[in-house]
Amino acid sequence: MEKPRILYVEDHLESALLVKTILRNLCDVYFTEDFDDTFDFLSKNEVDLILLDINLPGKQDGVEVLKVLRSDNKYKSLPIIALTAYAMVGDRERLLAAGCDDYISKPMDRHDLVDKIKKYLKIEN
């Protein structure tokens, strides 16, 4: 059986590799670093879920990625989980209102990450 495919939009390699290591037995994790890389990757690849850092380099941050994804029928129901250092009061609610399905703050709890991935990809224990 083919593993689910996750795209992690993250500009810090250490964070990306940590997530890949944590999820290695559950799914295949691919990375993009910014807005343009993300849409280039998605134009050529199918994914089952997106983990989205909000603070990305360039003019278009994770919220802009989210807006474009949610405006496209192809991605309207794709699970998107914010995985971000934005952890101030109101950030979670702001990102959920913007279109994220869930939210994980950094530094992340590995069990929370795995539990949410399993929930959205409907992976049984």
- The tens digit of pLDDT for each residue in 1-59 reads 689 999 999 999 999 999 999 999 999 999 999 999 999 999 999 999 999 999 888 88
**Cis peptide leading into residue 57 (ω within 30°):** no
Does 125 map to a domain? no
Residue 121 has a pLDDT of 96
pTM, entire model: 0.94
- The tens digit of pLDDT for each residue in 47-101 reads 999 999 998 888 899 999 999 999 999 999 999 999 988 777 788 899 999 999 9
Does 31 map to a domain? yes
Q: How many domains does the chain have?
A: 1
Q: Residue 18 sits in a domain of what CATH number? A: 3.40.50.2300
Residue 1 has a pLDDT of 67
Q: How many other β-carbons are positioned within 10 Å of the β-carbon of residue 24?
A: 11
Q: How many other β-carbons are positioned within 10 Å of the β-carbon of residue 93?
A: 10
Spatial separation of the C-alpha atoms in residues 21 and 64, rounded to whole Å: 27
Number of continuous H segments (helices) and E segments (strands) in the chain: 5, 5
Does 27 map to a domain? yes
Q: Are the beta carbons of 95 and 103 closer than 8 angstroms?
A: yes
Domain extent for 34: 5-120
pLDDT band at residue 119 under the 50/70/90 scheme: very high
